[in-house]
Amino acid sequence: MPLKTAQAIHRRHGIAEDTDWELYEWIEEHPNLSIYELAKSINWSHGKVYSSVKRLTNDGLVNVENAIRNGRSVSIVTYKKWQEFFTSEELDEMRQPGYFDEIEEIIERSKRMHNS
């Protein structure tokens, strides 16, 4: 594959990832909208939203359910809450006192380094 083609593909993947993340955050703030409603609310084309939702669904970050609204079939998009990515045992472990202490220490050290 020619270098310019590979670079163009890499740039497109980066743009798609940014688009997907932006849409994911939008879905978190505006849950239970259809693909059409998402497109209108974020001012994107239906195709752009549909493609992004498809990638997010394939990545396991959103769910798409068919529903009937006003007599029409629509695809409703909901985001997966962070708890859905863990087993009940893992969630129980996270609830134990001190579980996040090490992470909090790392975050504090990082903040101090960036403020220095």
Q: What is the pLDDT of residues 42-70, one digit of tens each?
A: 999 999 999 999 999 998 899 999 999 99
The pTM (predicted TM-score) of the whole model is 0.65
Same domain membership, residue 78 and residue 67: yes
Same domain, 76 and 91: no
Per-residue pLDDT reduced to its tens digit, 16-30: 578 898 999 999 999
Residues 30 and 70 in one domain: yes
Q: Give the closest residue to 61 by CA, choosing from 33, 15, 25, 113.
A: 25
**56 and 104 in one domain?**
no
Burial of 30 per CB tally in 10 Å (0-12, 13-18, 19+): middle
- Residue 70 is part of which domain span? 3-85
Do both 25 and 79 map to the same domain? yes
Best CA proximity match to 77, nearest among 41, 37, 44: 37
